[in-house]
Structure formats: C-alpha cells, structure tokens
Structure 1
C-alpha cells in the first residue's frame, strides 16, 4: 500500500510541476529536483535508494528511444560529425583531465579511479536537454545537444567499465578501444535489426492500441540483448528509435503514428519526471552514507564545484576547436557550391538534348509509319491483295516505334543507366541542400557558447556512480560528488540558461524564411494534387453521375492524392531540400486529412 501511495503522489507531483513551471518561468525538471531534495529531508520519509540498474536498464532505454524517434533524421545526418566528436572525443578528453584533477585532489584515489569518476561526470544527459528545448534556441543547437546526449552514454560507460577493471588488473589502450568498438558495433546492428523488424511487424497490425503496446517493448527488445552480450543497451535503443522514426511514416498508418506519439509523450513525461524526482530524493540517503564514513558534505560540494568548473572549461576548449573545424568545412563547401551547380546544369542540358533527340526520333518514326500507310494502296493496285495490305499496315508500328525506343534505351545504357543517373542527381541535390543548410545556419561563437552552457549532467551521472563496486575506496564520497555535479549542473546551468541565451544573443530563428519555406512545401503538395486531378479528370467527371459507386471512386481518388503528396514530401526529405520542421507540419496536415476521411467512413 505504501508503494502505491508513493507512486500516486509522485505522479501528482510530476503533473503539478509540469503545470506550474511555465507560470514560474522555470523548467519543470528543476522544480522536480528541488521538490525531491526537500521531500528527502522530511522526517517521516524513509531513505530512498534506487538500484542503478532500474535507471540504466529500466528508465533510460525508453527515454532515449522516445527522443530518438523524434530526432529529425536529416539534421542528425548533417550534424553527425559534430555529434560523434562530442560523444566520443569530448568524453575521452574530459575523463582524462578530470581523472588527473581527482587523483590530485583526493588522497590515495589513484589515476584509474580518478578517470572512472571523470567518465561518470563527463556525459551530458538526454533528459536534461528537455530544459534546452524550452529556451527557444535554434533547431540546429538542439539537434547537436540532443544527438550528443543520445550517444555519449556508451563511450562514458565503456570508459567507466575499463577504468574500474584497471584498478584490479592492467588494461591497455587497445583493450579499451576494442571494448568500445564491440559495444557500439553490436549495439548498432541489434538496434537496426530490432527497428526494421518492429516496422515490419507493426505494419501488419491493424489495431492502433495493440500497435502502441508493441511499441512500448521495442526499446527493451533492443537494449536487453545488447546488455546480455556486453554491448551498449542504450545505443541499441537509440538506433532502434532512429530507424523507427525514419521509417514509421511509410510503414505505419497515420492513426497508429498519432496514437504512438500521444502515448509516448505521456510515458516520456512520467519517466522524465521520475528520473529528476529520484535525483532529488536520494540526497538524504547519500548524506547519511557520507556521515558514516566520517566525511563532511562540504568536501563533496567543493569537489563537485571544482569538477563542474573543470568540465565546463574542457567543454569550452573542445567546442572552440570543433567550431573552427566546422568553419573551415563551411568555407570549403561554399567554394564547392558553384561546381555542383555547373554539374547539375550539364546534366539538365544533357537531359534536354536527349529529350529533343528522342522527340525527333518519335517524329521520324511517325512519318515513316504515315509513309507506309500512303504506299499501301499502290501495293494493292499491283495485286498484293487486301489481306497483304492490311498486314503491312499492322506491321509498321511494330517495326518502327520499338526500334526508336530501343535506340533511346541504348543511349541511356551508354551514358550509364537511368537508375545510376538518378542516384547521381539525388546525391548532387542532397549535397547542394546540405551546403545551403550549413551556410544559412552557421554555428558561430554565440551558438557555441550556448552549446557549452547547455551541456548539463543528470540522472545518468548518478546512476553510473552507483555502479561503482562496494569495495571501492571512498565510494560514498565519489557518489556524493557525482550527485552534486549533476544537481549543481541542473540548478546553476539549467536555472540560468534562459538568461545566458539572452546575454550571448545567438542568431534568432528567421521567421520569414520559415514561413517562405512552408509556403514552398504547400505549393509542392498543391501541385501534386493538381497533377493527379488533371490525370483523373475524365474518370472523376464520369463517376459523379454513378451514385454510390461514383462516390467511392472519388473517395479513392482523394486518398490517392494524399498518398502521392506524402510520397512527394518524403522524396523531398530524402533529398534534404526542406527543413524537417516544414515537412513535419505538412505531413501532419496530410495525416489529419486522411484520418478525417477514415473517421467519416470515406476510406
């Protein structure tokens, strides 16, 4: 009964914090941390100690999966260079620097345990990035931060595992590299397979409720086997989410996707709130453990402040180098853009010439056909007979037109078949769109400053600290230090992030460009509808006079138009022509239209 009371009160607390936070102009996670800390010191509240496996294997996989589903795949691909650098390189550098700092500050700790604690406090938290989204920064900053937090847990946990092993035995650099490659490689394969199987199975399930229930199992179907094999379950859940998010719109019905989104939003809110509540509730227990070892809390706070200052400084230096590299790539891309345009113009000119030549061949074939037709009476007069004449006329199209068609096909083969040429064009369009994206939304020092300050720690740090072996020297001090790093990071950085953004003034979102892009997407969908309607005009006009049968024909035409519009938008997404936000708005409108027809029984 007590457990049920705690669950009900926790859910009410999460709902209250989510409702009140906007009015207080603070992020709800910060309120939940403060609430948890306050409740943990109430005399009638028992000590709270959560098994870290419940967080690492129970709460984080569905949270990361939900974030990965919502991650725009096009922007994630474009930013993957920066994301992978922050997820691996920054974690390694931060762990090494912090390891040296902790080994110097804490007597008899040793470098291996120092690196272990550095790996614990190095990764940013995916849950903490929810604070960033509420500040109103550009989508590119959010993509970099969210992508980093989705992937850096794997490198941090692998480094932590290797550092702990180094305290008992010698571990070489190549052992750590091999462990990391195995953990990530196996996780990526498992996540991809689970994501694809998930889409295949759910595309054949007609009930939206059953479909959503199956979706709740997907992050665990990916993470649990990966953990059992010694790989990264969190990376497996993320990859499964990325695969599902990209393929769902082609595999799942609109009603199923909307049901998924609504239910996952509720699950994400509950789990995210639970993580932050747990973070606050455990403070009282951690302080008691520290007192039993006759150590003061102020020692942990001072160590946490030193660690937080060091990790922010290292992050600032690393991101400064990253921005310099991105600026160089942007300049090279700008220089490459005219060359891509020239190649595209040559391909277009080649297409026009080929079409013109094909039109001439068709005309020549038609003239030859007409010429054979006029010669037919002369053959008859000579005495060939009507049957022979008919045969000659019938054979003419069969000889001239296919010949012209085969010659046109031969030219395509000699120039590289149509599918290969199509792939080249798509690659060029995508490359040009990527360059336009980087030039239109550059990451300067202002955006870099926001990325530095928004890199907050969270529940992963505390859960990872509690995985330290129980015989670790000074374990309580290390755990309380990790707790204060996470808590102070959320309270200091998260609490001042809005003020910090107003101070550095990163480039604002260009509302006019956003509206213009949405108008272009609307024109694309309207053009598709007009084309299909024009192709089916005669059939539609004829159907209108056929009663119920005709109405069914018109209904199917409307559904066909929606399907064609959706496919055109997905083609544009694959080419990278428009931003994910503009495409998402148009795709949501199409889903709403299709669901409206289905609810009225029109499908």
Structure 2
C-alpha cells in the first residue's frame, strides 16, 4: 500500500507541476526538481536511491522514441549536419577535454575516469525545447535542439561505456573509435528495421487500442537486440521512432495516429516528470554518501562550477564554429539556385513527354529548390547560435549515468554529487533565464511568413476540394451532391450544426460522407507529396494533416439518427 501511495502522490505532483508551470512561467522540470529536493529534507522522508538501470533502460528508450516520432523527418535531414555535430562531435570533445580537468583536480583518478565523468556531464536535456517553443523561436532552432537531445544521450553513454572499459583494462584509441562507429551504425540499422516492421504490423490491426499497446513495445524491441550486438540501444530506439513517424502517415489510419499522439503524450508527461522529481528526491542520499566518504559538499560545488563553465566555453566554441560552417554551406547551396531553376524550367517545358526517370529527376530538383528556400528563410546566425549555447542544460540522464560508475571508482560518491550539482545548477540557471534570454536577443519574427504559408497551403487544399466536387465520377452530373457538401462544410466552419446543416447531413448522408472521404484522401496524398518535396514547412504540413485526421475521425464517428 505504501508503494501505491507514493506512486499516486508522484503522479499528482507531476500533473500539478505541469498545470502550474505556465502560470508561474517556470518550466515544469524545474518545479519538480525543487519539490523533490524540498521533500527529501523533510524529517519523515526516507532516503531515496533509484537504480540507474531503471532510468537508462526503463525510461529513456520510450522517451527518446516518442520524441523521435514527433520530429519531422525532412527537417531532421536538412539539419543533420548541425544535429550530428552537437550530439556526437560536441559530446566527444567535451568528454575528452573535461577528462584532463578532472584528472588534474582528482589525484587518484586517471584519464579514463576523468573522461567518464566528462561523458556523464556532456549530454543535454530536452527540457529546453519546450521553452524555445513557448517564446516563439524559429522552428529550425527547435528542430536542432530536439535532434541534439535525442542523440547526445546515446553518444555520451557510448563514450561512458568505453571509458569504464578503459578503467578496467587497456583499450586502444582505434578500438574505442571502431566500437563507437559500430555502436551508432548498427543501432541505426536495427532501429530502422524494427520501426519499419512494426508500422507494417500495426497497419494490419484494426483495433486502435491494440495497435497503440503494441507501439509501447517498439522502443524496447529496438533497444534489446542493439545492446546484445554491442550497439547503442538508445540510438536504435531513436531510429525506430524516426521511421515510425515517417511511415505512420502512409500506413496507419487517422484514429491510430490520434490514439498514438494522445497516449504517448501522457506517457512522456509522466515519465519525464517522474525522473525529474526523483532527481530532486535523491539529493539527500547523495549528500550523506559524500559525508560518509569523508568529503564535504563544498568539494563537489567548486569542481562542478568550474566544470559547468568549461562545458559552456566548449559548447560556445563548437557552436560558433558550427554556425560559421552552416553559413558557408548555405551560401554554396543557395548559389546553385539559378542552375536548378533553369533545369526546372527545361523539364517543365517537356512535362508532357517526360518518362519516369525524368519525373524522378524533376522531383529531386524541386526538393533541392525547396531546401534552398529553407536555408534562405530559416538561417542560423550568431544570435541563433547564442540560443543553442544557452539552451544546452543538463538533466536527469547526467545523474543516472553517474550512478552507473563501478563501485571501485575513486571518489565515486563525490563524482555523483558533482554530476547532480552540474545538472541541477544548469537547470535552475539556464532553465530559469532561457525565456528572457531569447526574448532579449530579438530573433527574427517569422509569424507573418508562417501565416502566409498556411494561407497558401489552404488555397491548395481548397483547390483539391473544388476539383473533387466538380468531378462527375465522384459527385455525379447534376451538381446537387456537390452543393450539399459545400453547404455543410461552410455551415460547420461557422460552428452552426442546427437547421439546414442538420437536414443536409441527414439527407443522403452516406453519399455526402463518401465525397468528403474522397476529398480527405486526395488532400492527404497531396500533403504527403508536398512533405516529400519539402515544399512547405513541417509546422504548416503537420497542422494541415492533423486537421484532415480530425475531420476523418468526425466523419467516422457520425451515426444517423
């Protein structure tokens, strides 16, 4: 009964923090860490120590999988260079440089131990993404930060695993590099295969609840074989999520997608909130462990402060170099626009006689031109780079990874407390100031452009609707059915379901629903094609696709009286 009571209180605390956070303008994870710390020092509160495997194996795979499903594949592809640099290069560089620092300040620690702690402190947390979205930062920044938080946990744990192995035996640098590459590549293959297979399996299941239940197993089924092969199970879970997110639009029904979205949002809320709450609850036990090892809290605070400053300096250097590289690459890509436009015009003149190979080439040219528009309108400059630097806050993965250090590691309790101070300190300092910091930078306001883009996309959807309504094979030749559908759609747009709208729905309702399904199907096919060509932003396309799903579900839910 006691465990049940604790679980109920934790769930209510997570729900309450997420409800209160927007009102006090503080990120929910920060509130939960603060609540956890306060509760841990209550006289009647027991010391709480959570097995780190519960976090690393039980919690992280579904969290990363859910985040990957929601990440637009086209945006991820366009910013793969930036995401890979932040999630792999930055993690490795930070771990190696911090290893020198910790080896210098800890007399009994060797370089492998220092690199292990550097790897523990390197990964950033996704908590910054919510703040960046809330203040209206450009979508490209959101994509880069989301992609970084998905992959850097895995790369940091791979470096940590190699460092722990080096602490026990001598490992060559080449061996570590080969193991790292294998851990990433093999995991991507395994995860992509699992995501592809499970989308196909769920496509055959008509029961929405059953299909959603099966989705809960996807990240773990990707994780386990990858780990058995010596690869990264977390990278496999992310790869499975990316493939699932891209394939679900073509393979699954609107009801499946809506069920997945709502259910996984709840899972994310509880898991993410729960681990931040546990992070705060563990503080008292960590401090007592340090005292028992004849150290003081001060011995953890000053190394943590210096380590945090070093992390920010390293991140600043890498991000600014990355911004310069992105600018050079964007200029090279944009310079190809005139040539591509000439080729596009040439293919357009020969469109009638174009064969399949030519059409595929034309689609590739369209996609490249769409990429050029993306790089031109959504640039990442110095100000955006400052946001990426300050958004690199640490989180619960840092603390969980620290607790996986072997028991014989020198200064183990102190190292874990250092990890906690860095994680909690960065959450409080950066998390508490990120919103005002972004506002102060006055990033380009893209809301007008986004609204204009949505209007253009809506006009394309309206044109498809008109085309269907004037298609005799769908609506007949007398025009009555087409007029009825148009009237119902117009009345429903005004939220008026009484009188004439209800009469029209009841009269020949089955035929009207059939026409509306045809419209939805053709609009969805066009939206998927636009997504594959990158013709519109992921935000505009996602909003349009969600509206189609909602309309399709409402049609299916209609029952004549």
User: What TM-score does the superposition give when structure 1 sets the normalisation length?
Assistant: 0.86
Distance 2:195 2:448 in 1: 37
What is the rounded CA distance, in whole Å, between the counterparts of 1:296 and 1:24 in structure 2? 34
Task: Show the counterpart of 2:494.
Answer: none
Deviation at 1:112, TM superposition (A): 1.1
1:583 counterpart residue number: 541
Query: How is 1:280-319 mapped onto 2 (pairs within 5 angstroms)?
Result: 280-319=280-319
Which runs of 5 or more residues in structure 1 are unaligned? 356-407, 413-417
- CA spacing shift, 1:262–1:551, aligned 2, 3 Å: closer
Query: Does the 8 A contact of 1:56 with 1:463 survive in 2?
Result: yes
Matched, 1:487 2:487: no
Alpha-carbon distance between aligned partners in 1 of 2:479 and 2:328, rounded to the nearest angstrom: 60
Render the CA deviation track for 1:38-87: whole Å, top value 9, x for unaligned: 11111211111111110000011111111111111111110001101111
How far is the alpha carbon of 1:205 from its aligned partner? 1.0
Deviation at 1:147, TM superposition (A): 0.2
Which deviations, in whole Å up to 9, do the C-alpha atoms of 1:267-296 show, x marking residues without a partner?
A: 111001101001111110100100001100
CA distance in 2, matches of 1:429, 1:539: 33
Q: In the alignment, what sits opposite 2:462?
A: 526
Would you say 1:433 and 2:370 are equivalent positions?
Answer: yes
Aligned counterparts of 1:221 and 1:543: Cα–Cα separation in 2? 53
**Retained in 1: the 8 A contact 2:520–2:548?**
yes
Q: Deviations over 1:198-242 (max 9, x none)?
A: 111111111111121111111111112222322111111111111
The answer for the alignment partner of 1:573 in structure 2 is 531
Q: CA deviation at 1:476?
A: 0.5
Shift of 1:128: 5.0
Partner of 1:37: 37
Pairwise CA distance, 1:544: 6.2
Residue 538 and residue 81 in structure 1: after superposition, are their counterparts in 2 closer, same or farther (change >3 A)? Answer: closer
Contact 1:540 1:553 in 2 (8 A): no
Superposed displacement of residue 424, structure 1: 0.7
Using structure 2 for the length normalisation, give the TM-score.
0.92
Paired residues for 1:237-316 under 5 Å: 237-316=237-316
Query: For 1:51 and 1:202, how far apart are their aligned partners in 2?
Result: 33
- The answer to whether the aligner puts 1:536 opposite 2:472 as a matched pair is yes
Match of 1:225 in 2: 225
The 1-side partners of 2:413 and 2:119 are apart by 17
Distance 2:258 2:411 in 1: 49
Partner of 2:555: 597
Alignment check: 8 A CA contact 1:456 1:486 kept: yes
Paired residues of 1:447 and 1:507 also in contact (CA < 8 A): no
For 1:516, which of 440, 445, 452 is the aligned residue? Answer: 452
Pairwise mapping of residues 412-431 of structure 1 onto structure 2 (< 5 A)?
Answer: 418-431=355-368
Count of residue pairs brought into register by the alignment: 537
1:65 maps to 65
- Pairwise CA RMSD: 1.9
Check conservation: 1:33, 1:280, Cα contact below 8 A: yes
Q: Is residue 474–residue 515 contact of structure 2 (8 Å, CA) maintained in 1? A: no
Measured in 2, the distance between the counterparts of 1:336 and 1:470 equals 57
Q: Partners of 1:344 and 1:78 in 2: how far apart?
A: 21
Matches of 1:72 and 1:137 in 2, distance apart?
17
- Note closer, same or farther for the CA distance 1:131–1:280 as it changes in structure 2 (3 Å cut): farther
CA contact (8 A) 2:300 2:414 kept: yes
Instruction: Say if 1:465 and 1:154 are closer, same or farther in 2 by CA, change over 3 A.
Output: same
Q: How does 1:434-449 map to 2 (within 5 A)?
A: 434-449=371-386
Alignment partners' CA distance in 2, 1:269 and 1:81: 30
Structure 2 SS opposite 1:507: coil
C-alpha deviation, 1:504, in angstroms: 2.2
3-state SS, counterpart of residue 217 of structure 2 = helix
Between the aligned partners of 2:111 and 2:11, the Cα distance in structure 1 is 42
Alignment of 1:21-170 (within 5 A): 21-170=21-170
Question: What is the rounded CA distance, in whole Å, between the counterparts of 1:507 and 1:91 in structure 2?
Answer: 29
CA distance in 1, matches of 2:475, 2:156: 62
Q: Corresponding residue for 2:485?
A: none
Unaligned runs of 5+ in 2: 482-503
User: 2:434 matched to which residue of 1?
Assistant: 497
Return closer, same or farther for 1:516/1:327 CA change in 2, 3 Å cut-off.
same
Q: Distance in 2 between matches of 1:538 and 1:312?
A: 61
Deviation of the 1:244 alpha carbon: 0.8
User: Counterparts of 2:440 and 2:509 in 1: how far apart (Å)?
Assistant: 60
In 1, the alpha carbon distance for the partners of 2:473 and 2:153 equals 56
Task: Compute the displacement of 1:334 (Å).
Answer: 2.1
SS state at 2:470 partner: helix
Distance 1:296 1:432, change over 3 A: same
CA spacing shift, 1:553–1:174, aligned 2, 3 Å: same
| Corresponding residue number in structure 2 for 1:391 | none
Would the aligned equivalents of 1:60 and 1:234 in 2 still touch at CA under 8 Å?
A: yes
- How far did 1:350 drift? 2.9
Task: Check conservation: 1:543, 1:551, Cα contact below 8 A.
Answer: no
- Aligned CA distance change for structure 1 residues 31 and 550 (closer, same or farther; 3 Å): closer
| Residues in 1 aligned to 2:508 and 2:267: alpha-carbon distance in whole angstroms | 45
Which residue matches 1:383? none
